[in-house]
Structure formats: C-alpha cells, structure tokens
Structure 1
C-alpha cells in the first residue's frame, strides 16, 4: 500500500518518469541487490529522459518543419558538391550558438529543404528553438500582423527563435514594403540569432529580386557576410529516388 502511495505522490508532483521507473523497480526482484544510491540514480535518470523527450517533442512541434528529417538520414554518398566535413560540423549546431547564418542553394529537388530540416532537428535536440517558414507566407503574416495590430507580438516571437529557416527565397520579386519588412526581420536577428536561407537562385543573383537596391544591400550584407554556404549540385533527388526500384528507394 505504501508503495502505491509513493508512486501516486510522484505522479501528483508530475514526476511520471520517476514513478514509472519506481514501479518497474518494484516488479524486478533483481534490482533489490543494488544500493539505494544506484536505484535512486536510476529513478532520476528516468525522469530526466522523460523530460528531455517531452521538450524535444514540443520543440519539434513548434518548429513546423516542412519534412521530418534527421541529421543521420542525410545521404552523404550522393554527389551533390557538398563539403561533407562542413555538413557534419553544421549538425553540431555550433554555427547557431555562434549566431552565424547558413545559405543553401541549388536546383529544385536536390535536397536543400531536407538538409535544412535535418539541421533544424539537430537544433531541437540541443534544446534550441527553431521555426520554418516559406518566405512568401511569412511576408503575408507580417502584412496581416501590421494590419490587425499584432505586429509587435510577432516581432517578439521571432526574437525567441534561435534558428529561423526561410524557404523558397527569391521565387518572386519583392515589393519595396516587403523588402523593408524583411530588412527589419534580418536586422533584428543579426548577430544575436541564426537564419537559414533556402533558394534555387545563386547568391550572386539575389540583389535583383529586390525593388529597392539600398535595402537589398542592407539585407544581403547582414545575411551573407558571416554565412556558411552550401551550393548543392547534381541530379534531382526526387528523380533519382523515383528511378530506383521500390525496394531501393531511400525516400530522402
């Protein structure tokens, strides 16, 4: 009876991982041979693991990553012109904690978004906050927020994000107001947070996507000068995967 009360008390204190591990210990006669310190340490480890898993699940949910991708699933054997050593270094997320940017360019289907989302997963595993957006939809959200008065709240929410992933950069030319909104966003994050940009367009052609050349200079100066760059080359990964027999397709 006392054991049941102990387990219930642990759950009431929201120590479910410890409660489950405690009940497991009661059902395993071999664990009585361990010392109190060893058994207690196992309870603490179980609770810590549960909390880490819950936090990771919450961070991944908040990130809204476009695809479910893990860093260990990145196919380094496909010849995409990527520095494999650099890519491995990026999965450590030191570039995020150092507040650097990352630019991923290359043709459609080459795997840019998959790599970005895999790096986003790495960041979430390390307890960092991540958010994925298509650039066009983000600019729409900013426009709506300015209209309904929620823009200050939206700005604060972006400042809580350690890694902001902007996909489909440069698919359409930006108007002057959109360019200024993007400058505000990039400037707020410059030197204090990290941004990952995904684009089919080479960096040297980005300037012409903006209506205001001065604003374009300001945006690119803040994004490019301290950024790691991966320019992916080769066949579309979708084309390669679809050409393989079903038993061989990696789906990456």
Structure 2
C-alpha cells in the first residue's frame, strides 16, 4: 500500500531516477532479499545515474555539435598523420583545464570537423561546457548583434564556455568587423578558456588571411602561441566513409 504514495513523494521531490528504480524493484522478487541499506543504495545509484545522463544530454544539446562523433569511433587506421598517443593525450582534457588552445588543419574531407566534435563530446562527458559553431556564421551573428545592441551579452556568453569550437577558419578573408569581433572573442578567452580551431589552410597562411597586420599579430598571439596542433593529410574520407573520422 505504500508503493503509490512513495512514488508520488519521490516524483514530487524531483527524484525521478529513484522513483523509476523504486517502481521496478517493488515488483522484483530478487529485490526482496536485499537489506534496507542495500535497497536504498541501489535506488540512490539509479538517481545518480539518471542525473548524470540528464546533465550530459543538456551539455550535448547546448554544444550543438555538427557530427554525432565519439572518441571510440576515431579512425586511426586510415593514413592521414593522426597520432593515436597524441590524440589520447588530447582526449584526457588537460589542455582544456590548462586553458590552452588546439588547432586542427588539413585538406578538405580529412575529418577535421568530425574530430573536433569527438573532442567536444569527450569534453561534455568531462562535465565541461562546449559550443560548436562555424566561424563565418558566428561572425555574421555578431555583426547583427552589434547592430541591435546585444553584442556585449553575446560576447560575455562566449567567454564563459569552457571549450569553444570554431570550425572552417579561413574559408573567406576577414573584413574589419570580423577581425574586431574575433579579437574580442579571443581576448576574453585568452588564459581563461580553451578554443579549438579547424582550417583547411596551414597556420602560415593565417596572417595573410586576417588582412590587417596589427590585428593579425594580436589574434594569432592569443590563438596560436599556446596551441597544440594536429595536422591531417591524405585523401578525402568522405566518399568511402562519410561519417568516419
């Protein structure tokens, strides 16, 4: 007779994991052999797992990762200059905790975006906030935000993200507004948060791409000098393996 009132109380308290476990165990013959402490321990474990899964789902939803990529699916067999030991070191996340940056470069189709999303997924597992965005789209959004007065709020929001993934750096030259906004982003994050950048262009081409020597020096100083680097090479993976990296 206590089953339904107890379930109601657990749900009322927001203990949904415990409520689900309580309902399942109440009809489980094996559970009747457990002591009160063991029984309570099991439903507490279910509550903890339920909350962890809920937080993880929220982090992934907010991260907006482009690909459903996970570290376990990273392809180390295809020759493209990807070092397994170095990747395993990156996936441990010490560089994020140390507020370093990461630059992934290589030809189109070699898995830069997919790899960045796998790293982002692992960061979500590690209870870190992540946001994936294409750089060109972000800079366009910031231009609009500047026009309607939301730029300060948006920049403050970006500054709080533990790992900001800027995909497709270098698809087009930066104009004056884009240079200014990019410098603002990197200035706020420098030494405080980590930024991951992917690009088809080698880092040696970035100064020219930025288009203004003063801005280029400032941007690259805040982005590259403390950055770990992954340089991919080889043929495109998209035709034989469209969702592999």
Work out whether the TM-score is over 0.5.
Answer: yes
SS at match of 2:140: helix
Equivalent residue number for residue 140 of structure 1 = 140
Aligned residues: 245
CA root-mean-square deviation:
1.2
Note if contact 2:183-2:215 (Cα within 8 Å) is conserved in structure 1: yes
Query: Take 1:107 and 1:251, find their aligned partners in 2: how far apart are those partners?
Result: 15
Partner secondary structure for residue 239 of structure 1:
coil
| Secondary structure in structure 2 of the residue aligned to 1:238 | coil
Q: What is residue 210 of structure 2 aligned with on the other side?
A: 210
Question: In the alignment, does 2:97 pair up with 1:63?
Answer: no
Contact 1:176–1:210 under 8 Å retained in 2: no
Partner of 1:225: 225
Give, in angstroms, the shift of residue 251 of structure 1: 4.4
The Cα of 1:224 is off from its aligned counterpart by 0.8
Cα displacement string for residues 185-224 of structure 1 (whole angstroms, at most 9, x for unaligned residues): 1010001100000000000111001121011011111111
* Structure 2 counterpart of 1:186: 186
1:151 pairs with 2:147: no
Contact 2:182 2:219 (8 Å CA) reproduced: yes
Distance 1:125 1:216 in 2: 34
What is the aligned partner in structure 2 of residue 196 from structure 1?
Answer: 196
Aligned residue number for residue 79 of structure 2: 79
Alpha-carbon distance in structure 1 between the residues aligned to 2:244 and 2:95: 28
Please give the per-residue CA displacement for 1:80-117, whole angstroms capped at 9, x wherever unaligned. 11221010111122211111100000000000000000
In structure 1, the residue corresponding to 2:104 is in which secondary structure?
strand
8 Å CA contact 1:133–1:167 kept in 2: the answer is yes
Q: Name the structure 1 match of 2:120.
A: 120
Runs of at least 5 residues in structure 1 that lack an aligned partner in the other structure = 243-249
Distance 2:96 2:38 in 1: 37
Matched, 1:171 2:171: yes
Gaps of 5+ in 2: none
Query: How big is the shift at 1:241?
Result: 2.7
* Aligned counterpart, 1:40: 40
Name the SS of the counterpart of 1:237 in structure 2: coil
Number of the residue aligned with 1:20:
20
Q: Is the 8 A contact 2:108 2:236 kept in 1?
A: yes
Q: Residues 167 and 199 of structure 1 are in contact (CA less than 8 Å); yes or no, is this contact kept in structure 2?
A: yes
For the residue of structure 2 that corresponds to 1:91, the secondary structure is: helix
The separation in 1 between residues aligned to 2:152 and 2:14, in whole angstroms, is 35
Contact 2:106/2:231 (CA < 8 Å) preserved in 1?
A: yes
Rounded to whole Å, the distance in 1 between the matches of 2:155 and 2:213 is: 24
Question: Deviation at 1:140?
Answer: 0.6
Structure 1 moving runs of 4+ over 2 Å: 239-242
